[in-house]
């Protein structure tokens, strides 16, 4: 295994047609396999409908599937650059700003970075802060301070499918027992 956390080019293994869940016409499914350092192989499935434009992607773990909780602390500049394999069923909690992102019908599986998640949180808070309140604005300022090394942040990821990973030796991964599977899946 390599020490380098950069992903190699994915290998496309399959392409097939499937009915679109939105318009019922024929869409295209593509399956890609990624080799993830220190983790193993994951399958990225992309669906695209050429008729109505509906898109969906998700990630599956080809190695193991036990529910996990990942704790990752952003403490010094650079920590936020860790790669983040996020499945569509991951719940993300950030205790310092009291925010929780729960999986919903529009959750996507994706390969991003911790920085991408923090920037996404800032966007969500900006939308929620239409009439600026002190607590809302201070949460955004806190998150922006993380990039300047002023503030620490804890990212807790709970994933019943066991697919999500943060690719860093600082990430603590713990196997968990499912409490309310339905709640975790956002149903």
Helix (H) or strand (E) holding 83: strand 83-86
- Check residue 52 for interaction with Zn ion (CB under 5 A): yes
- Check residue 54 for interaction with Zn ion (CB under 5 A): yes
Q: Which of 14, 18, 22, 124 binds Zn ion (CB under 5 A)?
A: 22
Gap between the Cα atoms of 97 and 1, Å rounded: 36
Name the one range near Zn ion by CB under 5 A: 42-50, 90-98, 102-110, 154-162. 42-50
- Check residue 23 for interaction with Zn ion (CB under 5 A): yes
Gap between the Cα atoms of 109 and 44, Å rounded: 8
Place of tokens 């695209």: 48
| Sequence-separated (6 or more) residues with CB below 8 Å from residue 18 | 26, 27, 28, 29, 47
Q: Which of 55, 163, 158, 167 is nearest to 103 (CA)?
A: 158
Q: Taking the complex as a whole, how short is the minimal distance between the CB of residue 23 and Zn ion, in angstroms?
A: 3
What track of x and - describes contact with Zn ion for positions 79 through 118 (by CB under 5 A)?
A: ----------------------------------------
- Check residue 20 for interaction with Zn ion (CB under 5 A): yes
Name the residues that contact Zn ion, by CB under 5 A.
20, 22-23, 49, 51-52, 54
């Amino acid at each position: 295994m390599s020490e380098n956390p950069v992903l190699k080019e994915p290998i496309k293994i399959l392409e097939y047609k499937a009915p679109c869940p939105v318009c019922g016409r024929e869409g295209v499914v593509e399956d890609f396999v990624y080799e993830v350092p220190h983790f193993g192989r994951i399958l990225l499935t992309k669906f695209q409908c050429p008729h109505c434009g509906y898109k969906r992607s998700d990630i599956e773990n080809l190695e193991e599937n036990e529910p996990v909780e990942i704790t990752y602390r952003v403490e010094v500049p650079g920590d936020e650059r860790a790669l983040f394999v996020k499945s569509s069923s991951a719940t993300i909690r950030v205790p310092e700003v009291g925010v929780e992102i729960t999986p919903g019908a529009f959750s996507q599986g994706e390969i991003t970075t911790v920085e991408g998640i923090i920037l996404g949180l800032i966007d969500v808070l900006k939308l929620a802060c239409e009439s600026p309140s002190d607590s809302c604005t201070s949460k955004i300022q806190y998150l922006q301070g993380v990039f300047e090394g002023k503030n620490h942040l804890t990212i807790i990821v709970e994933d019943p499918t066991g697919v999500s990973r943060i690719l860093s030796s600082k990430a603590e991964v713990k196997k968990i027992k499912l409490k309310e599977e339905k709640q975790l899946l956002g149903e």
